[in-house]
Structure 1
């Protein structure tokens, strides 16, 4: 993808690694550049299980989305959606309930540009380029497709660990919660500060040095649990990513320590 940069949106510095593009590389995608691949490979050398952790998160997205669709939710808002890869949210929920509407939000212009290309002509999807803190802008743009007087499935997967404490991530989540209708769901995953697979601390440090504009802040179980304030967690609560309603052994990594790296949970607004 880096050999032909004519499509890249103006102003994108392709020499700076992006979380969305590094994640895309770990998932086997092709929407990344040499600096993204270099950082991704460096972290893989330090912590080989990080690719499994990315896969576990993607599998959790599918299970959480299907749960919401089974509960009757037909409109979805994905904050920090990243680069489109196989098994996107709109594909998952429409397999369960055709006609679902999905709005993707990411601040990375490359992620947005790819989303626009892939979703061109799909009238039931939209893409918004915005920072998750810009909730007014996001709700205004998403409101052209989503009826916020009805339940919404809100996804915030592997995004809040890029939000420093001084931004008050719990308050940011609260801004979204307060504007959602009762019966709406929140699916959230977050890097754990408690899981300690080999190389994790060094991997986080390496990422933060090499991607200075997107620092990672792993958090404890209690810190992540606070993000669900005002929601009711559904069983089994906030757990290691693959332990959230797994479909089988394939939802787990071979290394049990990797299974605890992303916390994951789903909750409903009463």
Structure 2
């Protein structure tokens, strides 16, 4: 199932970046937990539409960092930072981030398939509050994350896989979470339609390819906007 989930996540990433550049007018992105920027990454998609878009990719894997620095050719618009999502202040204060990202203009804050690797004890709510607070009005936050699918057998399987990941160390820790917890990571920002939904259901550009139901209902995503002062949701 993991390869199908990865494909759905990459397709979601592409649609989100298209929306942010073409409709929301965002031209700079902070991509936290990016992994190796293979074909179809945030930089590729953004630069297809707007060649001067600025992107900083962030990952905590030194091997990914080394290979990524070699792959990213244009330091004028794109760079890679070694950083840990659990320590947002270090990411936000990194000299590369500060040089490429203008926090006086809207930012696309992207956390694709990363927060489900963060343990509850590391307080993902705190992490996200710190990141949101650093973003100017007009910014957009995109999140994709594993979720408990709402079907008893599928949820039992999710809990089993979660335990196996903890025991074996495969892919690091994994946490399937309730929709309410994932939504809390957006804070009071205004959700963009259609809200938090299965990845394939977020603004599909064509009829979505059918996924295995377990994959479809176990991976969700959404986008939210930080509105101007005076227009924030209560």
- Taking structure 2 as the reference length, what is the TM-score of the superposition? 0.89
Q: 2-side partners of 1:93 and 1:212: how far apart? A: 31
Equivalent residue for 2:62, pick from 109, 121, 130:
109
1:95 aligns with 48
Deviation at 1:253? 3.8
Kindly indicate whether the alpha-carbon contact (under 8 Å) linking 1:103 and 1:125 is maintained by their aligned counterparts in 2. Answer: yes
Helix, strand or coil: the match of 1:228? coil
Deviation at 1:86? 0.9
Equivalent residue for 1:134, pick from 87, 94, 109:
87
Answering whether residue 145 of structure 2 is matched by residue 187 of structure 1, we say no
Structure 2: gaps (5+ residues): 228-234
Answering whether residue 211 of structure 2 is matched by residue 254 of structure 1, we say yes
Helix, strand or coil: the match of 1:85? coil
The size of the alignment, in residue pairs, is: 221
Structure 1 residue runs of 4+, over 6 Å off?
A: none
Kindly indicate whether the alpha-carbon contact (under 8 Å) linking 2:86 and 2:118 is maintained by their aligned counterparts in 1. Answer: no
Equivalent residue for 1:160, pick from 99, 102, 115:
115
Kindly indicate whether the alpha-carbon contact (under 8 Å) linking 2:159 and 2:176 is maintained by their aligned counterparts in 1. Answer: no
Deviation at 1:199? 4.6
Kindly indicate whether the alpha-carbon contact (under 8 Å) linking 1:102 and 1:124 is maintained by their aligned counterparts in 2. Answer: yes
Answering whether residue 11 of structure 2 is matched by residue 55 of structure 1, we say no
Give a deviation string over 1:25-63, Cα, whole Å, max 9, x none.
xxxxxxxxxxxxxxxxxxxxxxxx221111101100000
Deviation at 1:265? 0.3
Structure 1: gaps (5+ residues): 1-48
Q: 1-side partners of 2:213 and 2:46: how far apart? A: 29
Kindly indicate whether the alpha-carbon contact (under 8 Å) linking 1:56 and 1:252 is maintained by their aligned counterparts in 2. Answer: no
- Taking structure 1 as the reference length, what is the TM-score of the superposition? 0.77
Helix, strand or coil: the match of 1:263? strand
Q: 2-side partners of 1:55 and 1:213: how far apart? A: 17
